[in-house]
Structure 1
């Protein structure tokens, strides 16, 4: 993709980044959110707007052209974007996940070569490695071949095809370790994309599966090699990042309830809107308390609990917005049902087995503790 306007200076403060996100959400994303939801793909104008606001480099270290914003700020920006247009936020999250992953890797030359271009929006990146969490035989295999590597298999989920220029993908080496590589998505016959997958939500995410056939990569494309234990630790450390998506949906649903309350003069709906907003603030405080302390005792247990709370909250708030809206919420271009579908999808994002169980248990116990973690 072509670069947009020059990115704001990497020294810009966190408050400025958040304000830019709010302006972008209000002026660009929210007004077209329902149309974007029904589009074939997220408009490139949205990606350019993210680049112009400096948000594509939010988590990229300053030494590589980004802002190096604290994770808490990156989560707040993601929450703001998700509250305005879920599918744009979801596609943005793929790029935002790829950049720090490369920055934490071992390949310094690769960082210097690609991270400034990703931060500026000159190129857009996505990720395809959720399959490494699946039990059973590896879906993507990496075989050493002299001083290069041969990659074969299927990446079942890759978001942003046709938008992204590059992808971080992962596969299993013969010894069981996982290799992360960066590849152009224009690798000729070695990468074949399926037609866009038909999804219940966010079809505009342009999500496909990739078939990899004799994809040859050199050491200059290798980001890192991790053991299964290291990968599991990274999964736990990043478990709370997608909570911002659920919180964004909850915030937007509470705003819809507040609008309905004002239009109808309903004190009960106004109380419901305030209750959801208060619960969102409490949940976000819990996310912030645990997300940045992956080494803390009991972190994994608390992270799973808090993430399940956020998933539950997003779905409940969106459901309330649908119920309060009435029959018009059944229209495909109504914001309430769009938020409900988006909140459901966030239940599946970056899932682990522990989180699946915690989410189900949370739903079963909701009647006895509906507003606490």
Structure 2
């Protein structure tokens, strides 16, 4: 069976065509509804890379990338909420702690949706969230600047740093509770619909049995760095959606460029050593954004004045493209992208 024939790819296309695309402009303005999340849960897409023995599909990375392209190109806000789920699933699949048996099945089968609250770890050695021992559990204090899916997620994978410079990941219910309060939803230039908040942690108590990972920061960080080096499949999905709004004459050359960058980026993503060829990965990432910017700009130009309306698909895709420029960004990827932009300008 080829990746394009995988049942989850077929389901993703059907979900996009029948629900996500027709509702995308409304969702962009009003927010991702719970009914969209229920549809994603029923589709099986939340278990795309989850172990088969726990109810998932155990599909290869290429299928995860392809379904991500489809969902992001259809409704980036819905994609962004559900894409958070795959990191908790993969964390549990690799964990040997007791929380694995409690949560991996429900998350793999799509019975529950998980969010993530760990991007702040990338600010190390600054520690926005501190974790300390408290009896037979742990106490979290600090601020999570960004948490997506508030009001839609059932649980979250929350991370902080211990006094011994370990990262500690634990599952908590995604709701206001003693020791954790959410801000009002953040108003953003794009993806406000994804229900992003900040979280204030003041003595949030988490039991030992909720911990999924505890490891030195220096051991965890290289794996996280490797993931951020690669081009995001959502970039290709939104670029494809923008090109679909154009006539073939302007779309053709851009589509060829997009296919070339995608091929190279995914070949690098499949390289057996994730941290090798970092410069090539960063270059492909920057080139993917270059094509995305050209595609969404072309869609706005082709749309004319109508593209300035909030109901315009071209304008929504352009804003979503801007969002992806900073989503998952690290100091390293920022420097590489800015360098590529400067080199492009000097070579023009």
TM-score, normalised with respect to structure 1: 0.88
1:108-161 deviations in Å (ceiling 9; x for gaps)? x31221122122332111001111111453110110123211111111100000
Q: Which residue number in structure 2 is paired with residue 64 of structure 1?
A: 54
Q: How does 1:111-260 map to 2 (within 5 A)?
A: 111-186=100-175, 188-239=177-228, 243-257=232-246
Structure 1 counterpart of 2:335, from 357, 361, 365: 357
Shift of 1:61: 1.2
1:256-289 deviations in Å (ceiling 9; x for gaps)? 11xxx2xxxxxxxx23211222222212212221
1:60-115 deviations in Å (ceiling 9; x for gaps)? 111221111111210110011111111111111111222112222232x3122112
Shift of 1:237: 2.8
Q: Which portions of structure 1, spanning 4 or more consecutive aligned residues, are displaced by more than 6 angstroms? A: none
Equivalent residues of 1:185, 1:191 under 8 A apart: no
Equivalent residues of 2:147, 2:196 under 8 A apart: yes
Equivalent residues of 2:229, 2:333 under 8 A apart: no
Shift of 1:298: 3.2
Q: Which residue number in structure 2 is paired with residue 100 of structure 1?
A: 90
Shift of 1:226: 2.6
Equivalent residues of 1:250, 1:276 under 8 A apart: no
Q: Which residue number in structure 2 is paired with residue 34 of structure 1?
A: 25
Equivalent residues of 1:167, 1:183 under 8 A apart: yes
Cα distance between partner residues in 1 of 2:228 and 2:103: 26
Cα distance between partner residues in 1 of 2:146 and 2:272: 27
Cα distance between partner residues in 2 of 1:61 and 1:296: 21
Task: Find out whether 1:88 has 2:78 as its counterpart.
Answer: yes
Cα distance between partner residues in 1 of 2:4 and 2:210: 32
Q: Which residue number in structure 2 is paired with residue 279 of structure 1?
A: 257
Q: Which residue number in structure 2 is paired with residue 322 of structure 1?
A: 300
Cα distance between partner residues in 2 of 1:286 and 1:301: 13
Cα distance between partner residues in 1 of 2:346 and 2:245: 26
Taking a change above 3 Å as real, the CA distance of residues 147 and 296 of structure 1, as seen in their structure-2 partners, is closer
Cα distance between partner residues in 1 of 2:230 and 2:70: 13
**What is the aligned residue count?**
346
Equivalent residues of 2:16, 2:71 under 8 A apart: yes
Cα distance between partner residues in 2 of 1:110 and 1:361: 43
Equivalent residues of 1:236, 1:303 under 8 A apart: no
Equivalent residues of 2:231, 2:265 under 8 A apart: no
Q: Which residue number in structure 2 is paired with residue 311 of structure 1?
A: 289
Task: Find out whether 1:333 has 2:311 as its counterpart.
Answer: yes
Cα distance between partner residues in 1 of 2:209 and 2:275: 37
Cα distance between partner residues in 1 of 2:275 and 2:195: 39
Secondary structure, aligned partner of 2:84? helix
Secondary structure, aligned partner of 1:347? helix
Equivalent residues of 2:183, 2:198 under 8 A apart: yes
Equivalent residues of 1:154, 1:209 under 8 A apart: yes
Between 109-118 and 20-29, report the one with greater CA deviation: 109-118
Cα distance between partner residues in 2 of 1:19 and 1:315: 28
Shift of 1:350: 0.9
Structure 1 counterpart of 2:12, from 11, 21, 33: 21
Cα distance between partner residues in 2 of 1:291 and 1:149: 36
Q: How does 1:288-303 map to 2 (within 5 A)?
A: 288-293=266-271, 295=273, 298-303=276-281
Shift of 1:255: 0.4
Equivalent residues of 2:176, 2:182 under 8 A apart: no
